[in-house]
Amino acid sequence: MCATIPAGCQFVPIERGCHPVPTNQQDARMVDEAQARKDRSLAILKAEDIPFIEHLPLIATIQESTRRTTEEVACRAMALCIVAVKGEGLEQQIVERLVGDFELESAFSPNERRFIHAADPSQHDRIQFAWRYECYWVMLWALGCLDTLPRPDAICDVPLAVSILQENGRDGFLAMAELRPQSEILDMADLTYRYHWAVVDARINDRETPAGLEPGVVMERHYALNWLTGYMDQAWDDVSTDT
């Protein structure tokens, strides 16, 4: 993963990413922050006996990353929940009512909007959008609706996830949401990035996924966290999960 490089830095290629060489004290502190975050992630991977490579690049720092607003993340969360429940098979009439009740018509990405308004989407599309529960789960954690985000070795608690929105409504959900500190979101993004590398490495080398990690959950979390931190300034439909 390649962070936005601050002014005054030079590029040094490291594998597929890039790494800033500090030219002043502020730049040095930024590299130190990113390296410390990586070191904490590697300590967790070692404790869980999950493979890693030392040269996987650093991710963005607090200063380099995008800080979303609480409302922006909450609206993204609500949109994800609605596309996921439709993917799971909720009737179109109810879906359309929920879109209106939660005032979400403008909150969907182009791909989501096409799916939401499709009277008879393909089974493939239903499955793909049902996986968005995992992205929604990340947003709930980022908004403080969940105390912790457990390691990605099982799918999320869908009934609990849906009930949070169902029981609070749009206004209640917005009122209860409070975005976590950027440092916590970046810590989770860094760890998930490295989990994803281990999952992909196992797949391409025809090995069992390490330590019980659930590949689909890891990928969806990586997707959500990359959007949350503004990876490469990509819009929701275009988010990449490079490893």
Instruction: Give the C-alpha separation, 148 to 138, whole Å.
Output: 10
Prediction pTM value: 0.89
Question: Would you say residue 1 lies in a domain?
Answer: no
Give me Rg for the CA atoms of the chain.
Answer: 19
> What is the total count of domains within the chain?
2
Q: What's the token pair of residue 10?
A: 């030079």
Q: Select from 12, 52, 56, 11 the least CA-distant residue to 34.
A: 56
Q: Are residues 103 and 154 in the same domain?
A: yes
Q: What angle do CA 48, 64, 187 make, to 5 degrees?
A: 20
Q: Are residues 26 and 45 in the same domain?
A: yes
Q: Are residues 74 and 168 in the same domain?
A: yes
Q: Select from 210, 225, 226, 223 the least CA-distant residue to 46.
A: 210
Q: Are residues 189 and 132 in the same domain?
A: no
Q: Are residues 136 and 52 in the same domain?
A: no
Q: Are residues 93 and 131 in the same domain?
A: yes
The range of the structural domain enclosing residue 145 comes to 70-176
Sole residue written with tokens 């749009």:
170
The tens-digit pLDDT sequence of the chain (243 residues) is 333 333 333 322 223 333 444 457 778 888 999 999 999 999 999 999 999 999 999 999 999 999 999 999 999 999 999 999 999 999 999 999 999 999 999 999 999 999 999 999 999 999 999 999 999 999 999 999 999 999 999 999 999 999 999 999 999 999 999 999 999 999 999 999 999 999 999 999 999 999 999 999 999 999 999 999 999 999 999 999 999
Question: Would you say residue 184 lies in a domain?
Answer: yes
- First-residue to last-residue Cα distance in the chain: 7
Question: Would you say residue 2 lies in a domain?
Answer: no
Instruction: Give the C-alpha separation, 123 to 101, whole Å.
Output: 26
Q: Are residues 202 and 116 in the same domain?
A: no
Question: Would you say residue 225 lies in a domain?
Answer: yes
SS3 letters for 71-105?
HHHHHHHHHHHHHHHHHHCCCHHHHHHHHHHCCCC
Q: Are residues 170 and 184 in the same domain?
A: no
Question: Would you say residue 4 lies in a domain?
Answer: no
Question: Would you say residue 25 lies in a domain?
Answer: yes
Of 176, 191, 211, the last residue of a domain is: 176
Instruction: Give the C-alpha separation, 149 to 115, whole Å.
Output: 28
